[in-house]
Amino acid sequence: MSHDLFEAARGAMAFAHAPYSKFPVGAAIRAEDGKVYTGANIENLSFPQGWCAEPTAISAMIMGGARKIVEMAVIAEKLPLCPPCGGCRQKISEFASKDTKIYLCDEAGVQKTMTMEELLPFSFETELG
């Protein structure tokens, strides 16, 4: 099932607005409702006021009515297996479990699978989950 997330993330990357970094990124989330939500990075001249691809996809998920990330794929045009940045890792963990799979992709597809626990050990936790 990760292949469709790879395709969705790659498709989302085409919508990136990255005129400053020239570093397009795409992300795709499968939520608990079974739907796939996508996002791309959207830069702003006033760094760091832009959005990374991962929180853009999370926003689409929330606005679509879902609240739980089941699995997620991330792809960057210029860096194979580009992991989410530190801030994005915490944002993802807000809506994921420790076992949520995060797929790191290159132009050929999913090349590495990590759990949220591997990506962000010792993350902040609350009683909300």
- Using CA atoms of 115, 117, 119, 123 in order, give the dihedral in degrees to the nearest 10: 150
Burial of 95 from C-beta contacts in 10 A (0-12 / 13-18 / 19+):
buried
Q: Is 54 a catalytic residue?
A: yes
Amino acid at 10: R
Q: Which two tokens stand for residue 50?
A: 């832009």
32, 43, 54, 118: the catalytic one is: 54
Extended beta strands in 22-100, E state: 25-31, 36-40, 69-76
Q: Which residues are catalytic?
A: 54
